[in-house]
Amino acid sequence: GEDVEQSLFLSVREGDSSVINCTYTDSSSTYLYWYKQEPGAGLQLLTYIFSNMDMKQDQRLTVLLNKKDKHLSLRIADTQTGDSAIYFCAEKEDQAGTALIFGKGTTLSVSS
Amino acid sequence: GAVVSQHPSRVICKSGTSVKIECRSLDFQATTMFWYRQFPKKSLMLMATSNEGSKATYEQGVEKDKFLINHASLTLSTLTVTSAHPEDSSFYICSARGPYTETQYFGPGTRLLVL
């Protein structure tokens, strides 16, 4: 079945860049997402990328997709303490109306 | 745009009672709504997919008679946890997608504690 893997923890200093990595197994994935979850809260959609793209940039966020290796990364430039949260990678297959498959989430800790 | 609300945000109930959680899309029509369950420090597990006007499709291992899902309108889906037990305590999150997009927008979640 489909599987999404992420490293569980990442610790960075304020002002540094953070890179969160994700690998997935479903080659039919068409949409790949990054969600942010702050403590006790729901999920906030950060950004997404279609499988026919290699890169997407949105302000401090850069998403890189290596479809051959099924590897997705999220880079946060100039990381702030407010970026501390759990970041979930999720994939969706190319079929209308199907649900997302999530990784276990990467806890990002930003120290000042 | 694309706001999804959930109510209540927190609920504490006694074992054996039923609890209803509402999920609403506030500014778009949600043709499909999903219900996820999140265990502490774990990822989200899909419980069921519901399309407006039809019966929900439950994932393997999810008891449909225990977790009743109704999606009677394009803006509202409800999850009822029947005869709740302490092991049902969890964080329940819904998401919704509109008719012309595959992007899902999530509600803020409902924390259920069964005593």
* pLDDT of res. B115: 95
pLDDT, block means (10 residues), chain B with 115 residues: 89 96 93 89 85 88 94 92 95 88 86 95
Q: Using a CB–CB cutoff of 8 Å, tell me whether B98 touches chain A.
A: no
* Both structure tokens of A82: 């407010």
Whole-angstrom Cα distance, residue A70 to residue A54?
11
The set of residues, in sequence order, having a beta carbon less than 8 Å from that of B45 and lying 6+ positions away, is: B36, B37, B38, B39, B59
Task: Choose the closest CB to A42 out of B49, B102, B107.
Answer: B107
Within 8 A of B109 by CB-CB distance, chain A residues are: 41-42
Q: Is B74 left (phi over 0), alpha (psi -120 to 50) or beta?
A: alpha
Q: What is the pLDDT at residue B17? A: 97
pLDDT of residue B94: 94
Inspect the interface and report whether the beta carbons of B106 and A40 lie closer than 8 Å: no
| Per-residue pLDDT tens digits for B44-68 | 888 999 988 888 999 999 999 999 9
Interatomic CA distance for residues A48 and A57, integer angstroms = 10
Per-residue pLDDT tens digits for A12-39? 999 999 999 999 987 777 789 999 998 8
Query: What are the backbone dihedrals phi and psi of residue B88, each rounded to the nearest 5 degrees, phi first?
Result: -85, -10
Identify the CA nearest to A45 among candidates A56, A55, A54, A37: A37
Q: Is B63 exposed, middle or buried (0-12, 13-18, 19+ CB in 10 A)?
A: exposed
Query: Which pair of structure tokens corresponds to residue B95?
Result: 């998401």
Interface A-B, measured as beta-carbon pairs within 8 A, has a size of: 51
